[in-house]
Amino acid sequence: MAEPRRSTRVSMPAATMTCDHFEVNMHTLFKKIGLSVVMDKLSQIQIPKTNEDYTAISKRGDYKKFGIGIAKLAYNHFKTNPTQPYHVQLGWKPADGGSPHSMALVIFQNGRIEFFDANGKMEPTKYISDRVMGSVLSAIGDNIPNGTVVLVNKKNINKGGKCIQWSIFYHYFRHLILEKGIINNNVPRKFFNNVNNNNIQQIYGLLNKRNITGLNKFISEKLNQS
């Protein structure tokens, strides 16, 4: 039996660094740089316990409906923001009460759909959660003109359970490199091949302090190393 993908939602060491506090800081940071990220989808995708449950839910069309819903939101976004990508903070929550997991989704008007998961490459034959995400992503791609799903990160940089920070950082990173005029779609993948689990402590500190200068410097240094 396939199991839900192992992941640990971030645990903060102090009361001033809770997930809620972190996300409030992120909204403030994003507003400051003119970036809009839909974050109310976090942990809305339910991961079933068994393959049988997955099959039953798939037949009911729940995952397809979820993906179509996101595609419609992206379509409406592009009506008023034709040049701005649509950023969504995705998440799933296991039905067995296990740890939730956070991911990033960035949709472009040309149909490019970038999916970022700090856990690395998807293994749908091994993990039910990856099978679920595959169904959701397929539904999004099928309902966006020229929809093409791109898996940005293929290595596990989430060994410390920092999926929220990594996914939040991806939204910031993607926004920044477009602002810099970098349109090469290979850059994100090369960039994340050059970061590691240890970098998240530095990134988290910069994000939580809303240190835009520090974040830009970190990204520029890593881009130069790519």
Candidates 190, 183, 174; CA nearest to 87 is 174
* Cα separations in angstroms, 140 against 91, 105, 114, 136: 15, 11, 11, 6
- Half-sphere exposure (CA, 13 Å, Cβ side) for 49? 3
pLDDT tens-digit series, residues 5-42: 544 333 222 223 345 455 666 767 777 777 888 875 54
Query: The whole model's pTM is what?
Result: 0.85
Q: What is the pLDDT of residues 108-126, one digit of tens each?
A: 999 999 999 999 989 998 9
